[in-house]
Structure 1
Amino acid sequence: MPSQTISLCMIVKDEEQMLPACLESVQGAVDEIIVVDTGSTDNTVQLAERYGASVVHFKWCHDFAAARNAGLEAATGDWILFLDADERIDEQGVQELPIWAQQDGVEGYFLQIHNYTGNGSGGVTINPVLRMFRHRPEYRFQGRIHEQIAESIVSQCAEAHFHMTDVIIHHYGYSETIVSAKNKVNRNMELLQQIIEEDPANPFHDYNLGVEYLRMGEVQQALGYFQKSWNGLEPARVSYAHLVLKYEVRCLQALGQWKEAMEKITEGRSLYPGYTDLLHAQAFTQNTLGRAEEAEKILREALHMGPSAEMYHTEEGIGTFQTWFMLGQYAEQREALEEAVDAYVEAVRYKPSLLPPLYRICRILQVTGQEERLPKLIEARFRIESQEAMGKLIRILNDSRCYSAVLSILKQWDQPSIPRETIRVSKIMALWRCGDWENAALLLRKNDDFPDQEKDWLMWSLDIAPSIGQKRAIKDHAILLIEQGEDEELKPLTEGTWTSFAELLEAADHAGKREMFVGVTGAWRNTLEKNREVMPEAVLMGTQKYVSSMTSAADGHLSVIQAQAPYDVNTRPVQHIRLGLPWPNGFR
């Protein structure tokens, strides 16, 4: 049997920013590239041709299926793979797709779409979608928007067999920046309203309209369309039915209709017993209704079940790290702090890049007077195998104000190796920020590794400049930076400016330098006031840093109150308040 070839088919318009990475990702996976351009005015066409693509110029007619089908007409491969410019094939998929193309008895393959939301910090949803199918003239896309190929294949070949693969497509098109820049929501709404007029009885269109309303925050309207879609479909025969139910539950929760949400979850669990996402929704609902014990029981059931079966749209970490993190939060609610720490540790073990549970571990041990446990706990339960990982850990500990843990780790740990200058700088900063200015000054005198500006700050605050003239120069520079004077080099206000404020404020507070603390606070407020109209975005950033710094100062004062009495029932209210304070990176 001759080798089976793959044609990549795409439709694009003004995609010069995203297209190169997409086409780069498929090198070695496909045999030809067909790009249908619907009227680009940038360098999209030239870029496509540079990657060897055949470009089909197509007059846009507000119909995505028509544009897709124009690409099918031009393709010559045995298989069709279709992507958008904001998608990338995973490296492993490049190796696997040609192998899948050689299989007999399969009409199409589902690939796992990883949708990245937010702007890099959001979660990941995982959706299995039919993206590769045999190239036959009778198979054509249908639908003006959210075009589909599966219905066409099944209508032509009732016995068609589809296979689920673990090939990953990374999709970045629903990050907030891209959605806003391309006005996707308005475009989708217009096309959906048009297609509903043309095909009013199709529940798939109602579902998609509900998704757009939900994306816009119009929850009540979204709920109506999800309910209409559900009432018009057959759950056992429709691949997207579980998503309609899941989004209906999400809407009911957002509207506070908890009884209705529980009823829908119960219905869903009977229809989709392998859908772990519904257990999460059930646990959240039970906890909101005050049934914390039942919520934790359901989450442990979710851990036992593991991630949702591969045919379901799911969210990364449900059944693993998201579930452990939620268990940690619920344990904190009932003040079972050791259980919470254990749950957060498990969350990090599943996903080491996950920051919220790391911050909560640091915070709990810090507030309960057990910060000295952190180095041993980290060494025993986490794997720190690179300089980069160690650097990240040190930053998190510093952000969490766990300076004694930083000093202990830098002193005791030899592996992985850290450059000596990094160790020295980290030690000085930890000593300075926690108020041990005498030892900070001692180390600073011996250290030449500091960036000049940071060293100026430290020398000024520690009062160790080698001469009166240098002291005055450094102080003048610091005051200019604090007050954002007329020196053009100090403008515009940046995150570094606010970080300098925050570090100096915290260091002065820990060192008991009340005059400096008050002076920096006043200068900070003056800077915010003077710039609120000319640099509103910078002032917003500065305000957020200011609130964080004031929170840190308040927490320091509360820690003194807590330490004045033995740990008993009298200190628990203070501990509870401290654990509820907003903390670094917005995590609490």
Structure 2
Amino acid sequence: MDTLSLCLIVRNEAEVLARCLESAAGLYDELVVVDTGSEDETRAIARRFTGQVYDFPWRDDFSAARNFSFDQAHMSYCMWLDADDVLLPADRAAFLELKRDRLPGPDVVMAPYHAGVDEAGRPVLTYYRERILRRVPELRWEGAVHEAVTPRGAIVYTQAAVTHRKERPSDPERNLRILEHAAASGRNLTPREQFYYGRELSAHGRYAEAVRVLEDFLTVGWGWKENNIEACRTLGACYEALGKPRHALRALLESLAFDPPRAEVCCDLGRLWMERSDYAQAARWYEQALDCPWDLRSGAFCIPDCHGFLPCIQLCVCAWNLGERERAVYWNERAAAFRPDHPACRQNRAFFAGEMDSSQENASKREDSGK
């Protein structure tokens, strides 16, 4: 077993900080909390858990704050969390086991991050993050927003996950403001920053600007494979919003130049063809989505529903519109196997039952009229 520092950067997190730290109790040997300008009780709450609470003047640079938090640590490894993250009991136990059995050893531990969950607590967006890092100068945070450490050295993957549970929305303009300021300053954005700049523009409905940024990002060709694929998906959404479905189709198909089809891309393509009422073409893409491997270790933004429930429920719709009633029922039941309580599955069952009753009634009337 080796020692572990838990490092957080916080600002106005009084509502969630204790929940986060309590969920990680017993895992860390040292707790470092860096406050970037709280105006609530965040500092006081942090001091209930540690004497190592530091102030860091905010300067629109998340990596600078993360690096400062790691610089205050003294243990062999650093683990980071956001204040609105939690470790579920099973995940906390898994991290404890990893600490006991695998540290020292790796330079970087990659762990799943459940960035979004549904009302039942099921993950709806998951990807791996560099969660535990050896405290060495070579492993440093980079990026003003969506900061990251480039993994290097001995890397291991764990199933122990961190779950994001946001209780209130953050400043919706913050990331875009930081990136626009960086771009206006004359500094060349890194490929990762340019990718996220395009995504932020898209999220703010500035689709034409997002298209220019993301097309340039893809043309230069310096981006990471997974960011390139996600850029194609975002471009497709932007072109759809701009009323350019052919451009959207081209953008999504361009993602295939970077890697074999991803389930998320296949579902996007299926939806485009459904909107054209070409249900046969849509069905081909949804079936392809079900055949796509799910490799969380790729670092991609994985949407679990795209690997099961979503293509199945859409194949139900496609089959019905193609006149394939039995196939529609089959795909609805396949969808229900993934999401048993989903309203669409229940509504479809009721619809199919009503159609069957109606068919039987009509058949009986025809028999009676023939007598």
Q: Could you tell me how far apart the structure 2 residues matched to 1:69 and 1:216 are?
A: 29
Q: Could you tell me how far apart the structure 1 residues matched to 2:261 and 2:98 are?
A: 26
2:314 to 288, 305, 326: 326
8 Å Cα contact 1:274-1:309 kept in structure 2? no
Equivalent positions of 1:103-182 (< 5 A) are 103=103, 106-116=106-116, 124-150=124-150, 160-173=153-166, 178-179=168-169, 182=170
Instruction: Provide TM-score, normalisation by structure 2.
Output: 0.86
Could you give the per-residue CA deviations for residues 312-361 of structure 1, whole angstroms, max 9, x where no partner exists?
21212212112211112222333534322321222121233433322322
Q: C-alpha displacement at 1:144, in angstroms? A: 2.4
Q: Could you tell me how far apart the structure 2 residues matched to 1:265 and 1:215 are?
A: 18
Q: 1:119 to 1:186 in 2, by over 3 A?
A: farther
8 Å Cα contact 2:110-2:129 kept in structure 1? yes
- Determine the structure 2 residue equivalent to 1:301: 288
8 Å Cα contact 2:262-2:289 kept in structure 1? no
Equivalent positions of 1:199-218 (< 5 A) are 199-218=187-206
8 Å Cα contact 1:280-1:318 kept in structure 2? yes
Q: CA RMSD in A?
A: 3.0
Is 1:223 equivalent to 2:211 in the alignment? Answer: yes
Q: 1:128 to 1:309 in 2, by over 3 A?
A: closer
One-letter identity of the residue aligned with 1:178: R
Q: C-alpha displacement at 1:258, in angstroms? A: 2.9
Structure 1, unaligned stretches of length 5 or more? 155-159, 371-561, 571-588
Q: C-alpha displacement at 1:56, in angstroms? A: 1.1
Give the 3-state SS of the residue equivalent to 2:168 in structure 1: helix
Give the 3-state SS of the residue equivalent to 2:306 in structure 1: coil
- Determine the structure 1 residue equivalent to 2:174: 187
One-letter identity of the residue aligned with 1:8: L
Q: 1:26 to 1:215 in 2, by over 3 A?
A: same
Give the 3-state SS of the residue equivalent to 2:163 in structure 1: strand
8 Å Cα contact 2:87-2:162 kept in structure 1? yes
Give the 3-state SS of the residue equivalent to 2:60 in structure 1: coil
Instruction: Provide TM-score, normalisation by structure 1.
Output: 0.56
Q: Could you tell me how far apart the structure 2 residues matched to 1:210 and 1:122 are?
A: 29
Could you give the per-residue CA deviations for residues 359-385 of structure 1, whole angstroms, max 9, x where no partner exists?
3222332x3154xxxxxxxxxxxxxxx
Q: 1:27 to 1:193 in 2, by over 3 A?
A: same
Greater Rg, structure 1 or structure 2?
Answer: 1
Bigger relative CO (Cα 8 Å, ≥ 6 apart): 2
Q: 1:326 to 1:308 in 2, by over 3 A?
A: farther
Give the 3-state SS of the residue equivalent to 1:246 in structure 2: helix
Equivalent positions of 1:282-361 (< 5 A) are 282-311=269-298, 312-361=300-349
Q: 1:207 to 1:118 in 2, by over 3 A?
A: farther
Same amino acid, percent of matched pairs: 22
Q: C-alpha displacement at 1:84, in angstroms? A: 0.9
How many residue pairs were aligned? Answer: 361
Equivalent positions of 1:374-385 (< 5 A) are none
- Determine the structure 1 residue equivalent to 2:369: none
One-letter identity of the residue aligned with 1:69: N
Q: C-alpha displacement at 1:9, in angstroms? A: 0.7
One-letter identity of the residue aligned with 1:332: W
Q: Could you tell me how far apart the structure 1 residues matched to 2:123 and 2:343 are?
A: 12
8 Å Cα contact 1:195-1:205 kept in structure 2? no
Q: 1:333 to 1:308 in 2, by over 3 A?
A: farther
Equivalent positions of 1:382-393 (< 5 A) are none
Q: Could you tell me how far apart the structure 1 residues matched to 2:160 and 2:239 are?
A: 34
Is 1:84 equivalent to 2:82 in the alignment? Answer: yes
Q: C-alpha displacement at 1:290, in angstroms? A: 3.7
1:268 to 255, 261, 283: 255
Q: C-alpha displacement at 1:254, in angstroms? A: 3.3
Q: Could you tell me how far apart the structure 1 residues matched to 2:311 and 2:131 are?
A: 30
Is 1:39 equivalent to 2:29 in the alignment? Answer: no
- Runs of 4+ aligned structure 1 residues displaced above 4 Å come to 117-123
- Determine the structure 1 residue equivalent to 2:362: 566
Equivalent positions of 1:1-16 (< 5 A) are 3-16=1-14
1:63 to 61, 82, 88: 61
Q: C-alpha displacement at 1:567, in angstroms? A: 6.0
8 Å Cα contact 2:114-2:123 kept in structure 1? no
Q: Could you tell me how far apart the structure 2 residues matched to 1:70 and 1:43 are?
A: 22
Q: C-alpha displacement at 1:163, in angstroms? A: 3.2
- Determine the structure 2 residue equivalent to 1:444: none
Q: 1:119 to 1:233 in 2, by over 3 A?
A: farther
Give the 3-state SS of the residue equivalent to 2:9 in structure 1: strand
Give the 3-state SS of the residue equivalent to 1:566 in structure 2: helix
8 Å Cα contact 2:108-2:155 kept in structure 1? yes
Could you give the per-residue CA deviations for residues 271-309 of structure 1, whole angstroms, max 9, x where no partner exists?
221622122122222333343112212222222335355
Q: C-alpha displacement at 1:104, in angstroms? A: 5.9
One-letter identity of the residue aligned with 1:11: I
8 Å Cα contact 2:111-2:161 kept in structure 1? yes
Is 1:48 equivalent to 2:46 in the alignment? Answer: yes
Relative to total residues, which structure has the larger helix share, 1 or 2? 1
